[in-house]
Amino acid sequence: MKALSALLICLLSALAASAQDTRGRISGTVTDAQSAAISGAAVTVTNTGTNTVTRLATNSAGYYEAPLLIPGDYTVTVEAQGFKRTIRSGLALGLGDQLQIDLQLEVGGTAESVTVSAEAPILDTSTVSTGRNITNREIMDLPVIGNNVTMLTRFAPGVQVPGTTQFLVQGQIGGGSGYYMPGGVGGNEWSIDGASTNGTDRRVAFMPSPDVIGEFKIETSNFDAGFGHATGLNISMSTKSGVNAFHGSATYQYFNARWNAAPFFTKQARYSQIAALRAAGNIAAAEELAARPLLTPGHMNNFHGTLSGPVTVPGLFNGRNRLFFFLGFSKLRNLQSARPSELNYTVPTAAMRAGDYSRLLQVDAVRYTVYDPLSVRPDPARAGHVVRDAFPGNLVPRSRFRNPIHDFYNQRMPSANNDPADPRREPVNNYIASGMPNNVDYSSWNNRIDFQASSRHRFFFRWLKSEFEEDAQDYTYETEAGLMAWDEKRPTLSGAADWTFAMNASTVVNASVDATRFLLQNQRLGTRRYKPTDTGLPAYMDQKCAGSCVMPRVVWPGMVAWSGDMVLSTPVDPGAQGRQQSAKFNVTHIRGSHSIKTGLDLRQHYRNNIQNGGLTSGNFTFANSFVRKDEDGFVPAGTLGLVWATFQLGIPTGMSVDTNDTYALMNPYYAWYGQDTWRVSRNVTLTFGLRMEYERGPTERYNRALSYFDPNAELPIAAAAQAAYARNPLPELPASQFVVRGGAVYAGRDGAPRELWRSELMYLPRLSAAWQFHPKMILRGGYGIYFDTLNVMNQAVDQFGYARATSTVLTNDFGQTWRAGDPRNGVSPLTDPFPVRADGTRFDVPLQNALGAMARAGQGFTYTGYDRRHPRVQRWRAGVQRELSNHMLVEASYWGQWADRVGLSVRQDSLPERYWATGNTRNNAIATELNRQVPNPFFIGNFESLRTSHPVVYQQISTLGQFQSPTIAKNRLLRPFPHMNGLTNNAVPVGQARTHAFEFNFQRRLSRGLNLNASYTRMLQENKNIIENEFETAPRIWWPSDTARPHRLTATGIWELPFGRGRSYLNSGVLNHLLGGWQLAATYEFQNGPLLAWGNNFYRGDIASFEADARSGTRTLDQWFNTSIPFERNPSNLPAAFHVRVFPRFFNGLRADGLKQWNANLLREFRLVEGLRLQVRGDFINLQNRSQFAAPDLNPVSTNFGRITSQTSSLNRFYQFQARLQF
């Protein structure tokens, strides 16, 4: 038996890991009155809720340790021959807590006993994990929106947040996952009951209801070697388990949208409309408008129910003390309008829809002049360039509206309702979608089984399931309801099983398995109402998309919406499905003054799409390229208005359609660790650990992936292109230096590795120490190295060749001649967007990997280098805790971190620095020369031999613009890899980040009816992660970072008003019934606003005093900073193309609006009968109704310069009410 036990320990020590365990530990030393250690004492640790026990014996040092205990209330009993039995009760073990309970025995018989009832010590004397435990009381009682308990993460010390408090109900995981460490390097690790619950793209996969969560813990610094797989926060939740008594709850939460405060700009727009009606003399209409509610109807119904207890079958089985269950269910239905930050869109004005752009000339006659694309001709003043004539009066004649899809999309484009009254202001954000719906339907189920087979064997099993649907972003709700709605669906399924085996008094083994499946898909059902012919496109487009037809997508670049460019319709979302499976094993062994742990964590990550997606019905872009004066931006051109004119004229700047494939990615992760916690003395603990992580590069199941770029790849076009260049070389680049080499690499082809990037073995040392140098004070510190995971859950794949887009080249000479349509004779390219080609085809079919190194040539390639490295963070901390009482402490800490190997996007085909303009004056000569058209060595006529030698390559390049035009911009030939037409490695490991922070925390555990936590952080965070100019291979400047704000203050509190039964005053009689049972709870949050991000401007003043000058004067919404500072305001004098950056990107003292918010609630509890309680509660979010505004316009030539025209996503004042019945 001993041999078998030894073998089992050896095997499991090679396969063990604690990972992110949510269970806690109770340990301590047993001594006599003279402080001598008592060995062999029998220790029993009992969970008082379940009556389950862990039996131990003290070792030669008098030490005992009970690991892997679920959160709950415990009693520790110690018996030793010749001593009285000693009982320590009232110990509340929180999630991940490590309680040190030292016991001193009195001489006597074991029949005598000494019972001490006291709280667990508030000082943490053995670990250096920092952050915050959110207790069950705080989860249940603090004010949060829609019972989304993850929002309490923001109140943990050291946690950074984006700086808004948007509406996020349970299940909305995007914003609900938006918490991070300073620097923003890597992501967080989310777990429930020790099992990973990471979704795709760094999001939490599952959000249990507050009635299901026992506690959750947020760790910002954890120097335990068991922690890994991430560089960010470690956020662990534990679900509730059943106990010997039956318990249950039913909770109902409700809000009505019209109770709430309206967003600032919604009110402003309404008041402006009323004022305009009054000014026009239309008093009746003004009064009718004033009587309408500002907010659209909406409400939320949110129900949670739980039931728990022992598993019993009357007369057959009694599970008390052994087998327990916990069931939870929640259902939420939310109907309301969108968040304030999502209400702003820019749409064409009524005049623009009629072709009248004359008003824009009052804004800026240079940037907003509309030029006739049919007037294009060679520019006699600039050789190699073209010029166009303006439409007279800036009016586009109705007779020139030639777009066959114009009427369909124009009818569905919302009408402006917020045009500025001042004609000199740009009509941006001129449509406020105040009634746009944001509806959520969410259901979740939770089941947990705990089984105490014996005092040596414990098991638990848990599964979670949720279904989430969201109808949001339907900004066409007034023109065609439901057309642009997300229709997002997100089913999640998770399961876990765990076994704990107390092998003997000094060795505990733990093994677990878990799996999570997560799917996110925006179905966009509204766009599926239509097929291409419904919009006016030809019938062959319907045949192309057969089975996956949607309304074709139209894009107006620069016509801004809150989330980017204005679009109608979207790609078909293929649905990203992520899956993670893991097996974890753990061994803890106590030897003398050492606690030794060792283990391994095995994970498999998967990501696949569930259908062919993409732009199956076509994508049509209408930029300003053909309605500006020239082709290269020599004369500045705006986008507002010009892009709509292009749409009316029916001359797109891009047309494409997709044929896509599915994919299935996978990569494994293995981590081993070993750790020794050495109790040097009773007040000094040292912990040494080493973690080793090995993560393999991802693979695609059938190698359907384009991987990296090989700069030395030989190309079939090289000789002919180099020979063509030699016939017309540029003076700056001799023919001998013009090299055509380098190409894409397909996974697994021609000896290439299957992995998309290399596997990596990483070493993560950890060290921490705790010294209790005073009975009420402890000094703690630690150091650790962490690496981020690069798994496929957070990574899509380039499937070029297996997925292929067909793009139509409209013109090779900027509209002098056309390759699609005949605009000069009134025929829009949209009448036949994909013409029949010489080979009789219209669309490119997938070629799989047949193009080899020529894949992406001429089309641009953004790739992940094979030598990608895992970002690394070194973190350290030192702090002092001071116990003020047995329920209060303060802590002061310094902590810092250094991050490196952070992946950045770096251009590999950058134009060398020597060609760029410098100084503070516009250089037209350089821009003109570098954009000049010169003979194109990549013209298809130079590659006739490829027709027979490489027919697939020839067919591919013959469809691409780079190979179709006989001329090319000069700057493109002066770059390395000129055949690629753009080349960027998006993961060059040259980014860095550094943090220094001082943190001050106060904690008062709930005592005498009052709980209070407060934290202040003063932080210096700088990142070296911005490539200022494309020719730079690494960042040059340390910039202040928006991932950490200089000042952040948070506080939470719960106060049981001292009236009523069981409290200090009015605890009986009528006044008890009137005034008893009340409770107040509140949260507060303050932090600086985000940095203002400046463009590359010419500044005519003293840059050294810019920040002070900009901050002078009174700050208003119309002038957030001093707009009279001497920027260059003439658009013709701004930096031209190829001008190095001359103006700083950030100034630490110039920021947008910050966060200052109080939330509060008022609760009253009624005791209906013995054991049955009813709680009624009202929550008041953003109690002071403070609007938080978005950043101002930072374009010096804009008429809105310095003006704020929109809000952030933070809510205005919001009310919700709740009732909870518990037994």
Beta strands in 909-1046 (DSSP E): 933-935, 967-969, 983-1007, 1010-1024, 1039-1040
For residues 166-194, average pLDDT:
87
Residue 352 confidence (pLDDT) above 70: yes
Number of domains in the chain: 1
pLDDT of residue 112: 76
Does some domain include residue 31?
Answer: yes
The number of beta carbons lying within 10 Å of the beta carbon of residue 801 is: 22
Does some domain include residue 39?
Answer: yes
pLDDT of residue 110: 67
Does some domain include residue 872?
Answer: no
Backbone phi, psi, residue 938, to 5°: -100, 10
C-alpha–C-alpha distance, residues 881 and 783, integer Å: 18
Q: With H, G, I as helix, E, B as strand and everything else as coil, classify residue 1132.
A: helix
pLDDT digits (tens, 9 = 90+) for 428-464: 999 999 889 989 999 999 999 999 999 899 999 999 9
Residue 3 confidence (pLDDT) above 70: no
Contact call for residues 328 and 445 (beta carbons, < 8 A): yes
pLDDT of residue 448: 96
Does some domain include residue 103?
Answer: yes
Name which residue leads in pLDDT, 335 or 370: 370
Residue 4 confidence (pLDDT) above 50: no
Residue 348 confidence (pLDDT) above 80: yes
C-alpha–C-alpha distance, residues 181 and 664, integer Å: 31
Name which residue leads in pLDDT, 730 or 18: 730
Q: Which candidate, 1079, 1123, 1071, places its Cα nearest to that of 1101?
A: 1123
Residue 85 confidence (pLDDT) above 50: yes
Quick one: tokens of 649? 């004229």
pLDDT of residue 227: 92
pLDDT of residue 1064: 80
Q: Which candidate, 527, 532, 592, places its Cα nearest to that of 62?
A: 592
Tokens 């009323």 correspond to: 274
Lowest pLDDT segment from 172-186, 640-654, 681-695, 911-925 = 172-186
pLDDT digits (tens, 9 = 90+) for 99-135: 999 999 998 876 777 877 777 788 887 778 888 999 9
Name which residue leads in pLDDT, 682 or 823: 823
Contact call for residues 248 and 186 (beta carbons, < 8 A): no
Residue 11 confidence (pLDDT) above 50: no
C-alpha–C-alpha distance, residues 35 and 681, integer Å: 12
For residues 1210-1218, average pLDDT:
93
pLDDT of residue 338: 84
pLDDT digits (tens, 9 = 90+) for 627-649: 999 998 889 999 989 999 999 99
Q: What stretch of H or E contains 447?
A: strand 439-452
Packed helices 264-279 and 283-291: angle between N→C axes, nearest 10 degrees: 160
Does some domain include residue 899?
Answer: no
Does some domain include residue 28?
Answer: yes
Residue 483 confidence (pLDDT) above 80: yes
pLDDT of residue 879: 96
Contact call for residues 211 and 805 (beta carbons, < 8 A): no
Contact call for residues 875 and 784 (beta carbons, < 8 A): yes
Contact call for residues 129 and 222 (beta carbons, < 8 A): yes
For residues 1098-1107, average pLDDT:
95
Q: Average pLDDT over the chain, rounded to whole?
A: 92
Residue 1029 confidence (pLDDT) above 50: yes
Buried/exposed 845-864: b ≥16 CB within 10 Å, e otherwise:
eebbbebbbbbbbbbebebb
What CATH number is given to the structural domain containing 60? Answer: 2.60.40.1120
pLDDT of residue 9: 39
Indicate the pLDDT class of residue 1207, thresholds 50, 70 and 90.
very high
Quick one: tokens of 178? 């938006």
pLDDT of residue 120: 78
Does some domain include residue 1148?
Answer: no
pLDDT of residue 1134: 93
Instruction: Kindly tell me the burial class for residue 727, based on how many C-beta atoms sit within 10 Å of its own C-beta (0-12, 13-18, 19 or more).
Output: exposed
C-alpha–C-alpha distance, residues 499 and 1158, integer Å: 44
Q: Which candidate, 1169, 123, 223, places its Cα nearest to that of 784?
A: 223
Contact call for residues 215 and 94 (beta carbons, < 8 A): yes
Quick one: tokens of 1138? 């190829």
Indicate the pLDDT class of residue 12, thresholds 50, 70 and 90.
very low
C-alpha–C-alpha distance, residues 812 and 966, integer Å: 8
Q: Which candidate, 159, 240, 238, places its Cα nearest to that of 197?
A: 238
C-alpha 862 chain-centroid distance: 22
pLDDT digits (tens, 9 = 90+) for 753-785: 999 999 999 999 999 999 999 999 999 999 999
Q: What stretch of H or E contains 497?
A: strand 488-504
Contact call for residues 201 and 178 (beta carbons, < 8 A): no
Buried/exposed 889-911: b ≥16 CB within 10 Å, e otherwise:
bebebebbbebbbbbbebbbbbb
pLDDT digits (tens, 9 = 90+) for 821-875: 999 999 999 999 999 988 889 999 899 999 999 999 999 999 999 999 999 999 9
Which region holds residue 315: left if phi is over 0, alpha if psi is between -120 and 50, else beta?
left
Using CA of residue 396, residue 398, residue 402, residue 407, what is the dihedral sign?
A: positive
C-alpha–C-alpha distance, residues 209 and 392, integer Å: 63
Q: Name every residue whose Cβ is closer than 8 Å to that of residue 521 and which is 6 or more positions away in sequence.
A: 488, 489, 490, 573, 574, 575, 576, 610
C-alpha–C-alpha distance, residues 14 and 53, integer Å: 28
Contact call for residues 337 and 437 (beta carbons, < 8 A): yes
Beta strands in 775-859 (DSSP E): 777-787, 804-807
pLDDT digits (tens, 9 = 90+) for 972-1007: 999 999 999 999 999 999 999 999 999 999 999 999
Distances (CA, A) of 536 to 180, 533, 623, 624: 47, 5, 20, 23
Indicate the pLDDT class of residue 572, thresholds 50, 70 and 90.
confident
Lowest pLDDT segment from 39-53, 97-111, 506-520, 910-924 = 97-111
Residue 18 confidence (pLDDT) above 60: no
C-alpha–C-alpha distance, residues 1195 and 1094, integer Å: 8
Q: Name every residue whose Cβ is closer than 8 Å to that of residue 838 and which is 6 or more positions away in sequence.
A: none
Q: Name every residue whose Cβ is closer than 8 Å to that of residue 293 and which is 6 or more positions away in sequence.
A: 258
Q: Identify the domain containing residue 95 by its residue range.
A: 2-117
C-alpha–C-alpha distance, residues 988 and 84, integer Å: 66
Beta strands in 285-432 (DSSP E): 299-310, 312-313, 317-318, 323-335, 344-345, 377-378, 386-387, 431-432
pLDDT of residue 834: 95
Q: Which candidate, 582, 515, 989, 1042, places its Cα nearest to that of 787?
A: 989
Backbone phi, psi, residue 401, to 5°: -75, 100
For residues 1126-1153, average pLDDT:
95
Residue 150 confidence (pLDDT) above 80: yes
Which residues sit opposite 499 in a β-bridge?
A: 459, 511
C-alpha–C-alpha distance, residues 1146 and 916, integer Å: 23
pLDDT of residue 8: 38
Rg (CA), the chain: 34
Amino acid, res. 539: A
pLDDT digits (tens, 9 = 90+) for 261-308: 999 988 888 888 899 889 989 998 889 889 888 888 889 999 999 999
For residues 581-594, average pLDDT:
94
Q: What is the 3-class SS of 644-708, one letter each residue? A: HHHHHHCCCCEEEEEECCCCEEEEEEEEEEEEEEEEEECCEEEEEEEEEEEECCCEECCCCCEEE
Percent of the chain with pLDDT over 70: 98
pLDDT digits (tens, 9 = 90+) for 1035-1077: 999 999 988 999 999 999 999 999 888 788 888 878 777 888 8
Distances (CA, A) of 726 to 270, 975, 1210: 66, 16, 60
Indicate the pLDDT class of residue 15, thresholds 50, 70 and 90.
very low
pLDDT of residue 6: 39
| Angle, CA 442 vertex, CA 528 and CA 1157 arms, to 5° | 110
Q: Which candidate, 177, 57, 73, 52, places its Cα nearest to that of 118?
A: 73
Does some domain include residue 59?
Answer: yes
Tokens 């569930």 correspond to: 610
Q: Which candidate, 438, 179, 163, 269, places its Cα nearest to that of 1188?
A: 163
Residue 322 confidence (pLDDT) above 50: yes
Q: What is the DSSP letter of 365?
A: T
